Structure 1
């Protein structure tokens, strides 16, 4: 495993541990997005500083699919925004790690999210604001593919293209599942790449579990300032890394029990090997 792959796998270990400890949460979409967040935060793509989270020159990341908060918490902890031991306080009374991200509680969280469909609008507004201020910072937003059934997503897409927000990158975690089943069965979003392209976006598709390919695609989108917002359709597997969770809609929002946790950790730690990025 490469260093980035090890980080993503370690995030998955943290994700299943914290959700099991909490007794509730959303493992499926958190596990599917671990490689995407690893590429952003540790692949040299996202400009950020855990020592100065409000640095005006930072890039912005917005987790539109806020229920995947465990993945965001795992990457922020690895990056040094808060102690990793705090991950086990997920969803507990008084914890900074709420079930959905709270920007008033936790450094590194740009905006409180959880109401699906709103994240891309917030990201587009942030991107427009940065352009008005004359900044060159990029704004990244991670959406779920089920979330793309929301009409507000496409209002934001229309606005971003109209305003030529080429500092905006939308990443769609295209795992094909949502809480009620397959996205194609619940309300088929169709070819999301073609939809974004029809709205005037620059579109690329990528294997959402190939960290090297993700780093390249994200860096290229960030650097391309030719007048179009960018959409990256990342093809992923819901529950990636835990065999009994993979491609199972039932693991969208369910915590593993003690036996299931032991099985999941056995698989993930086996993939990790003896080396540990925690040092």
Structure 2
């Protein structure tokens, strides 16, 4: 009977955890839904100013490039026009784009709250020392994600759009992009950059659990470079400039991750040494009494 009662209590505990997780996911989903609805009704701001911004020469990044070129005494970085037209070739094209983009914008805007909800579910299951180690997790994850989103939108996206709009295998072929193709390219670049900027957090977690060390990270630095270049080639259009623009910050984040891993390992070693010293100090009186 005791075994059955113990089993029932464990089963109820597991069900309670699932119920708690369900409510966290529901609240995170509601936040995404609310922001998605706001994005859907804010059509001019979201689509004309944000999504279609990189398709016009008055976009902030293009103007900054032009100012930089003027400071260098050259107008090569100034863009008079982007030689392409965006069209909707299917009856449901614009409506599908409207829904898809609204969801992506809602996901980005609600990310801090959604991650906070998931973290509220995960954190109680950690030990006290693990909770101390993960202080500020929501802040750093959100900061890195938003930094990656901004980098993808203001740097990688306009460079990619400029390259693809000016690329022609023959002058007789006009660049007329479908709206779904344009939106999917922009959203993929932006979201991929936001996720890839979580590299320091991933290295921190792996270092905490002892999977990686700064020695292994330095040893596999060349392999990591190849992986970063491959990933950059997958998420960006096939132009070298976009791949380099994505690879450079990732390489920098990898080096930052090595430093973070070194700090984690050093603190772990110092803690082990202090624990050994305390144990030795506790054993000394016993030996002297004998």
TM range (shorter): under 0.3
Q: TM-score, normalised by structure 1?
A: 0.24
Which structure carries more helix by proportion? 2
Q: Using CA pairs under 8 Å that are at least 6 residues apart, name the structure with larger relative contact order, 1 or 2.
A: 1
Q: TM-score, normalised by structure 2?
A: 0.24
Which structure carries more strand by proportion? 1
